[in-house]
Amino acid sequence: MTKLMRKKHQEDEEPTKVTFGGIMATIFFTLVSIVFVSPIIIVLINSLKDKTYINLETFKLPTADSFVGFENYKEAITQYDFIKAVGWTVLITVASVFVILLCCSMAAWYITRVQNVFTKIIYLLCVFSMVIPFQMVMFTLAGTADALHLNTPWGIIIVYLGFGAGLAVFMFCGFMKSIPLEVEEAAMIDGCTPIQTFFKIVVPMLKPTYISVAILEAMWIWNDFLLPYLVLDIKKYKTISIVIQYMKGSYGRVDMGAIMACLVMAIIPVVVFYLCAQKYIIKGVAAGAVKG
pLDDT, greater one: 20 or 142: 142
Model confidence at 291, in pLDDT bands (50, 70, 90)?
Answer: very low
Mention every residue, 6+ apart, whose C-beta is less than 8 A from residue 88: 153, 237, 238, 239
Cα dist. 64→50, 113, 255 in Å? 11, 66, 21
Q: What is the pLDDT of residue 292?
A: 43
pLDDT tens by residue, 196-213: 888 888 888 888 888 888
Q: Which of 114, 112, 118, 130 lies closest to 174, judged by CA?
A: 112
Q: What is the pLDDT of residue 57?
A: 78
Model confidence at 282, in pLDDT bands (50, 70, 90)?
Answer: low
pLDDT tens by residue, 187-196: 888 888 888 8
Cα dihedral sign, 129-133-136-138: positive
Q: What is the pLDDT of residue 17?
A: 67
In order of their start, the domains of the chain are 16-69 (no CATH), 75-289 (1.10.3720.10)
**Max Cα–Cα distance, the chain, nearest Å:** 83
Q: Which helix (H) or strand (E) holds 172?
A: helix 155-176
